[in-house]
Structure 1
Amino acid sequence: MGYADHPDGQECFEKVFACTKYSGFAGLILSTYDALMITKPQGYVPTIATYMKSTIPAAAAGATFATVSCVSTNLRGKDDKINYFLGGAAAGGVFGIAARTFRVGVPLGFFLGFAAIIYKDSKDEGWSIFPQTVHKMGAMDHRQFNFTLTPDK
């Protein structure tokens, strides 16, 4: 179950759940990095506060993006890039509210809005932001290659 499984403007609750899940997980990774590498809180309560400081706004921003873009698609009756810009700008505003400053919210709102436009364009035109790569598991197949110093006779 992902965000792009259904057309825009349909199945809004599933889209909100998917965005909240992914952005909350990203916030959890960011919080872990913050707790281990930057702030290094001492004790349980400061550690929980460190996790809440990043995880909750990230999950709320994902939910806000999905909600605003889905509702604006339904209200405007159009499926275009403006809906995604509005969702991204609203998500940036959530981070600004969490930081309690316009200096974070306004630039991040514009940045996330334009990032959402790029995502919508990639979804509509069929190109990928991160191309698929083929990964091979395990070690090299030693039967394919001859690693001896002298060839067999």
Structure 2
Amino acid sequence: MNKLLNYKYYDTPEGQDIFMKTFVTSKYAAVAGLAGASFDVLMFSHPKGFVNTIGRMGYIVGPLVGMAVAFTFTTNVAQNIRGKNDKLNYFLGGATSGFVFSAWMKKGIIAVPAAVVLGAIAVVKKTGIDEGWIFFPDAAQSTKTIKSVKHDWTLLKDIEELKGWTDGSKQ
């Protein structure tokens, strides 16, 4: 179980460990969906009762997880079928997610634009992975404790030799 929770998407090459990769993307989609669904329930839809609230949250979380599963499965199966690890696999995965999105919205007219947009976003992600882009850099955080007051936070230290001023009393 620990391996399942600590696994990262790029721990293994594309086309391998499809179940683990699907679990990872579904986990991220579920967390993002719960945050978005909670915002929707509290701010916009205001469903009455427990069952309606769970239904509304499922209406938002379910398709997001479905989009993540469709992307991961399509990308990895395309890798295994084609035998190539390139941007087309990611485009196909993003396009599949676009079709799931249009089915969720119940608007067939947005199927192709959603597929193209999500496919293009997936290609940008693949390009970033291949070229080593950092999408979310780690931010250095300073620790603030009770003793932080004793630290010298000045940008430039005083240089004693350059202090040639007087207080004006010796004239």
Instruction: Give the TM-score, by structure 1 length.
Output: 0.88
Residue from 37, 41, 44 that aligns with 2:47: 41
Aligned length: 146
Asked if 1:17 is matched to 2:26, the reply is no
Q: Deviating runs (4+, > 6 A) in structure 1?
A: none
Aligned match of 2:104: 98
- How far 1:13 sits from its partner (Å)? 1.1
Aligned match of 2:165: none
Question: Which whole-Å CA distance do the structure 2 matches of 1:19 and 1:54 have between them?
Answer: 16
Q: Which runs of 5+ in 1 are unaligned?
A: 147-153
SS of the residue 2:150 aligns to: coil
Larger radius of gyration: 2
Asked if the contact 1:69/1:86 (under 8 Å) is kept, the reply is: yes
Among all aligned residue pairs of Structure 1 and Structure 2, give the percentage whose two residues are the same amino acid: 36
- 1:102-141 pair list within 5 angstroms: 102-139=108-145, 141=148
Aligned match of 2:150: 143
The answer to which of 11-20 and 70-79 deviates more is 11-20
Question: Which whole-Å CA distance do the structure 1 matches of 2:141 and 2:25 have between them?
Answer: 26
Aligned match of 1:66: 72
- How far 1:139 sits from its partner (Å)? 5.0
Q: Which runs of 5+ in 2 are unaligned?
A: 1-6, 154-171
SS of the residue 1:79 aligns to: coil
Aligned match of 1:149: none
